Structure 1
Amino acid sequence: MSNSKTAIYRPEIDGLRAVAVLAVLINHLNHKILPGGYLGVDVFFVISGYVVTASLINRLNEDLRIFLVGFYQRRFRRLQPALLLTFVITIIVFNVFVSPSESIFQASNRTGIASLFGVSNIYLLRQATDYFAVNSQFNPFLHTWSLGVEEQFYLVWPIIIAGCSRLSLSSICFKPSLRWSILVLGTVSLIVYLAFSLKGDIDSAFFLPTARLWELAAGSYLAAGKDISKSSLDYSLKLPSKALPFMLPLLIFTFFAPDTIKIVPTLLCVAFTLLLIGNVQNSSSTFKLLANPVAQAIGNKSYSLYLWHWPVIVTARWTIGVGVWSLVPILILITIFTLLSYRVESYFRAANPSRLLIYNPLVAYPSLSVFAAAGAFILQGALQGRIFAGRPDINFTPVTDRQISGTRINTVNCFREPTSPISNSSRFSDCLYKPFARRPTIFFLGDSHADAITAIGSQLVAQGKYNVSFVSRGGCPSPYFKPWANDRHKLERYKLCDEHYRFVISKVFSLVSSGDYVVIVSNFPGYLKGLTQEDYPKAFASLDMQLNRLARSLKNKHASLIVFKSLPFFSSRPDHTQPITICKEEWFRPQKAIPDT
């Protein structure tokens, strides 16, 4: 092992960072131009695994405490100042331009808070977030999921490397044992990723660190087989010299893969990145292309650019729109904030900690994160809606607490997540409001779409003509049927859907009487879209049978069934809905500029 504490600088890696961040930027501006541009994040994972492992191996001669504490301090100084700056500005701007009545309002704020502590990927997974859904594209902190994956990797990786080093019999045995450890961990992680992907659990495959470790491990494996003080590899990962010029074009080619096909492009993207890092020589044309001054300038600022490009784009979606005419101001703002953030990032990395009054980054930066998070909680608590710059007449009851005033019908009591335990009878009674003894009752059943129209219940109660009930479970259709698209009905997450429906419908039939209505509000297109030609007729027949059975049973009780048409869809991405208030004209959102993503 080298005694040097400074690994040789490889400018072509900064060039690769530039390629990756530009791919992500183009994809986020218009996914139709570069549908697989999100794979730029996978390139970053491979690079991070390589660079971090190389740095750690180069410092193994340090005392264990200095080795570990020094690594975490460097990570905090590298990542946290720019992230804190981005968070504070973004969350204030978001609360100014986004109505707290929007369903994504609280989730966006909480994603930002989670990002400060490196767990936004876990939060997004727990919220069953679909990264590729249109409604997700309005969360200004969505992109921080990748920071969460990396920070969770940083948390354990130096401990693994230090353990391998100290368990090795000699320095000669260290690298082989480390490579074997990385190979085993990476292989297990790849199996986890493929297992989630093949069974249709795309969210877990996308957000979980255990399903992403193989990408970071790929770069780490390369670094573990390299003398960090030299530019050549000490084990065989060699390409024929004539093949090298094709690696960068092939990597870029993966960015054009449709976002509906994920496994193969991801595997190829990681492979091409790995081959590029392992084979680029200073004399090659690929090196000269990646090491040019423009690529270097962008690559050096790739972290700040990645942090800022998404909040600026999302803010534009909420305000002026994202289109050809707004492209220039969007890019100008991204550039300005990137340069500002890079100055902050560089200053805190280079400055003497005592000069900054930050003697211990492991205490100072988490403390600053706690203060920033507290401010965000105040914005979504006591000050919720106070700094919203829109018209108050379109600021409805916050959807995070949809409720019928004067009743116990609200999201907390009457909406269940897919994995929540089946409600008991007392919980069901909380979701029934029956003040009018001689009036019919309308029972609203379904998934999150049923919860989204709770405001209709308030209007019905105010008219004094109907009693109402709302019971819903996210991601679970009422009536229950199968199969669903991508076999999602087989996922562990939705195993309670059938039992939930049977429990709810039994309670409804124990209460329903002549003149009552059962209103079904479920996103049926979402469950059916994407089914194979073989499965679609089965699913449609199952749904049709369940609806007819329900209608006949209600008819026997002289009650009626109403199937609520799905909430609005937009032609650009017909499988997802847009935020409601984005259709409202504001001084900062002229109707002609409504974004079309």
Structure 2
Amino acid sequence: MASLLVNPTTPVADSRRARRDRFRGDIEGLRAVAVTSVVAFHAGVGFLSGGFVGVDVFFVLSGFLITGLLVDELARTGRISLTHFYARRVRRLLPLAALVLASTAAATQVLVPAIDRAGVAVDLAAAALGVANWRFALEATQYMADTDKSPVLHFWSLGVEEQFYVVWPLLLVALIGMSGVARRSWSVAFRRMVWVLGGVFVVSLLLSVQQTSSGAAGAYYGLHTRAWELAAGGGLALLRPVLGELTRRAATGAAWLGAALVVGSMLLMDEATPFPGIAAAVPVLGTVLLLVGGVKAGDRGVSALLSHPWPRFVGRVSYAWYLWHWPCLTLAAARWPEDAADGSATTAAHARPAVVVAALVVSFLLAVASHYLVEQPMRAAPFLAASRRRSAQWGGVFVATSLVAACGLAVSTKLAGEQPVAAVVEASTDVKGPRTPSEARASRPKDSTPCYTGYATTDVPEPQDCRIGPADGGTRTIALLGDSHAQQWLPALARAAKEKGWTVYHFAKPSCTMTDVPIFHVQAKGRYTACEQWRANVMDRVAQIDGLDAIVIGRWKDYKDIALQADGSRATPETISDLWAAGSSRTYPRLAEAAPRVVVMTDTPRPPHDVPSCLSRTDEPAGCAFDRTATTHQDGALLAAERAAAPKAFRTIDLTPVICPQQSCPVVSPAGLIMYRDSNHLTDGYSESLWKLMASELTKAMA
């Protein structure tokens, strides 16, 4: 420790030659590995199922480099110039970010239907202000937030880094720089930095593990759960004076072990891996070891490979490529999607393969061009570098440019008018709307309520607080339970309750099945533990309801893909039947004790595209129709397991023949109502229009 407590930097000018001597080619190559893994993962390269850990590599590198810059300045001068630091960050990050955001706004205007532009405009503004991570964390807690389709989703990681750039220098200045302790005693200053970084590391890691294990949506995107990764790099920067004491053999071994950990994470982890949490420690440790190895053995082993000109070139343009690749992928998929045969939602990886390849090529060409024409010139521009105030002023200009682009996109969206998508060809229904794409998108549960709760909530209200119809004397008493595919039938049941004097209780939670199996939370990217707690509470509430005639269960078919096995991996077609049977055996007998009939709604036909978006692109609704064969009755394995668990009480209702009466499934009803609000949920208006059929089928099931 003694060598660490001695000021490691002589008080000489930080010359260009000194900075060049400190430059490490292996770090530039490591950036190439990180960005390539992220790009490949986003492009749907199957064997890199854990390519998302490239972001964690970037976090460690940022913590190492930024802390190194700050500590070197503190060691040389005894203080940290915040204005100098922030001016450099402005010149380094904002010009290119503003170009990408403005370009994305313009491309969105051309390639994305008007109905989808308003959400992109908000995302653009959040990205421009450096808070995209909190924007997407908030979205991940809300119902049906389709964040993966945002062309600026990747700005979440930049938000984490930018917030770190704000907080970390301020901490150092407050604890060390303002007191002048670094001039008087470097050992005291060093110990304070160790304690601060150590505290950040421990607290953030504990939060990361706790929130990841609980399924909190903010765990993936939050600074509080990622700061430990940046602190790991920062702690290594403090250890630089002693890293040179390693033997070359030890350094080479450390680098190879680090490479194995990083590459292994990319190959073996996947979206079902609870992340970040403790799993993120593997790529973080790997990156730290790679950095350690490069200090003493930069010309040997894996460090030498990383220092090769080709990876260094990719690493040099990595920031630009990271910024460009995701908008290119998502906007190309929005304009030229490949419909998923099973009716699942379209994502960037579901664009046609040729489109994905073209988008990647375009993004790399844009990265190279913008690196040399914008990023590097603005970073070294004399008129900016000469004045910190001017750098700050131009930083405001760059942010304002991005915000103006976002506002322009929002205004153009608001001004876009809509007409009903189809004329009524049958006697009009007494149900109001939806008849335009915007009305269809809005025809959904408005906000989370105690009875239709959000992702994070586990509390369940008393039954009387979630009742529709009379408290006593109802002709039938029914409980509607399940996920959003249960909630989509509430308008039909509510109308039936009004017209027939039924009493309907309803409890629902997005992406939460009543079957007792663990579920992967797609938005929060972790196990959906809040669902498990909520489900248990609902079972208790249902047991309190007297005189139930039937329990109606709604659930989507995609649980066959997101149910979790005992080892934490996702279910497969070979394992889902046994997994669902085991969960149903724990659930359906209990439901059968509460009501003589347990009625499961067969999942509705699933369009392979977002219906309002499709309708907003065309004047002919038939162009958005879809084939019946591949998109109906996809939940057969689930139904079979549920039926076997309580055969005497079990019933099903299948409205597929009405929703899709022919081989080509329509998306607009004969009465002119748009049937879907997205790619898998019925609109509230269309659901209500089916109330007579629903009441008739449910009456038969209760017989």
Match of 1:290 in 2: 306
SS at match of 2:73: coil
Q: Choose the corresponding residue for 2:442, options 401, 412, 417.
A: 401
Give the 3 Å change call, closer, same or farther, for CA 284–238 of structure 1 in structure 2. Answer: closer
Q: Does 1:299 align with 2:333?
A: no
Task: Name the SS of the counterpart of 2:140 in structure 1.
Answer: coil
- Give the TM-score normalised by structure 2: 0.64
- Asked if residue 5 in structure 1 is aligned to residue 42 in structure 2, the reply is no
**1:298 deviation in Å?**
1.4
Deviations 1:67-109 (A, max 9, x none): 112212222222222222222222343344334556xx65544
> How many residue pairs were aligned?
551
Is the Cα–Cα contact under 8 Å of residues 441 and 466 in structure 1 kept in the other structure? no
Which amino acid is 2:148 matched to? Q
Relative to 1, partners in 2 of residues 1:363 and 1:441: Cα closer, same or farther, differing over 3 Å?
A: farther
Equivalent-residue separation in structure 2 for 1:127 and 1:287 (angstroms):
40
Match of 1:540 in 2: 584
Q: For residue 68 of structure 2, what is the aligned residue in structure 1?
A: 54
1:348 aligns with 2:358: no
Which piece of structure 1 moves more, 110-119 or 142-151? 110-119
Which residue identity does 2:438 align to in structure 1? T
Answering whether residue 85 of structure 2 is matched by residue 71 of structure 1, we say yes
Percentage identity across aligned positions? 23
2:130 aligned to 96, 106, 118, which one?
118
Write the mapping of 1:8-87 to structure 2, written as runs, cut at 5 A: 8-60=22-74, 67-87=81-101
**1:121 is aligned with what amino acid?**
N
2:202 is paired with a residue whose SS is helix
1:485 equivalent in alignment to 2:515: no
Quote the offset at 1:275 in angstroms.
1.4
Does residue 1:417 correspond to 2:454, yes or no?
A: yes
Contact 2:328 2:359 in 1 (8 A): yes
CA distance in 2, matches of 1:453, 1:96: 36
Taking structure 1 as the reference length, the TM-score comes to 0.74
Sort the Cα spacing of 1:264 and 1:426 in 2 relative to 1 into closer, same or farther, 3 A.
closer
Contact residue 124 and residue 145 of structure 1 kept, 8 A: yes
The change in CA–CA distance for 1:238 and 1:291 in structure 2 (over 3 A counts) is closer
Distance in structure 1 (CA, Å) of the matches to 2:440 and 2:150 = 16
Structure 2 stretches of 5 or more lacking a match?
1-8, 338-350, 423-434, 568-577, 627-703
Following superposition, the deviation at residue 530 of structure 1 comes to: 1.1
Using the TM superposition, give the Cα deviation of residue 209 of structure 1 relative to its aligned residue in structure 2, in angstroms. 1.6
Alignment partner of 1:337 out of 366, 370, 378: 366
In structure 2, do the counterparts of structure 1 residues 591 and 48 end up closer, same or farther at CA, with 3 Å as the change threshold? farther
Q: What are the Cα deviations for residues 527-553 of structure 1, in whole angstroms up to 9, with x where unaligned?
A: 98114399866642344246545654x
Change (3 A) 1:484 1:257: closer
The alignment partner of 2:290 has SS state of helix
Structure 2: which amino acid aligns with 1:417?
Answer: G
User: For structure 1, which segment, 358-367 or 180-189, has the greater mean C-alpha deviation from structure 2 after superposition?
Assistant: 358-367
- The answer to whether 1:253 aligns with 2:264 is yes
Cα distance in 1 for residues equivalent to 2:393 and 2:479: 53
Q: Corresponding residue for 1:217?
A: 231
Change (3 A) 1:443 1:372: farther
Q: Deviations over 1:556-584 (max 9, x none)?
A: xxxxx7533346679xxxxxx96446777
Counterpart contact for 1:304–1:338, Cα < 8 Å: yes
Distance change >3 Å, CA 384–CA 32, structure 1 → 2? farther
Question: Aligned letter for 2:329?
Answer: I
Partner of 1:558: none
After superposition, the Cα gap between the structure-2 partners of 1:500 and 1:11, relative to the gap in structure 1 and judged at 3 Å, is same
Residues in 1 aligned to 2:386 and 2:611: alpha-carbon distance in whole angstroms: 45
For 2:168, the equivalent position in structure 1 comes to 157
Counterpart residue number, 2:601: 564
Residue 245 (structure 2) pairs with residue 243 (structure 1): no
Distance 1:111 1:525, change over 3 A: same
User: Which deviates more from structure 2 when the two are superposed, residues 390-399 or residues 181-190?
Assistant: 390-399
Give the match's secondary structure for 1:246: helix
Structure 1's 14 and 129: CA in aligned 2 closer, same or farther, altered over 3 A? farther
The answer for unaligned runs of 5 or more in structure 1 is 404-408, 556-560, 571-576, 593-597
| SS of equivalent to 1:58 | helix
Rounded Cα–Cα distance in structure 2 between residues aligned with 1:78 and 1:562: 60
| Corresponding residue for residue 448 of structure 1 | 484
Structure 1 residue aligned with 2:240:
226
Letter in 2 for 1:565: T
- Deviations along 1:182-216, whole A, 9 cap, x unmatched? 2332133223223333x242644322222212211
> Is 1:314 the equivalent of 2:330?
yes
Q: 1:383 to 1:184 in 2, by over 3 A?
A: closer
Q: SS of 1:57's equivalent?
A: helix
Contact 1:101/1:398 (<8 A) preserved: no
User: Alpha carbons of 1:377 and 1:353: their partners in 2 closer, same or farther (altered >3 Å)?
Assistant: same
Relative to structure 1, the CA distance from residue 177 to residue 372 in structure 2 (aligned partners, 3 Å threshold; closer, same or farther) is: closer
- Name the amino acid aligned to 2:381: A
- Radius of gyration: which is bigger? 2
Q: Aligned partners of 1:149 and 1:336: how far apart in 2?
A: 27
Contact 1:27 1:36 in 2 (8 A): yes
| Aligned equivalent of 1:268 | 282
The question of whether the paired residues in 2 share the 8 Å contact of 1:475 and 1:494 is answered with: no
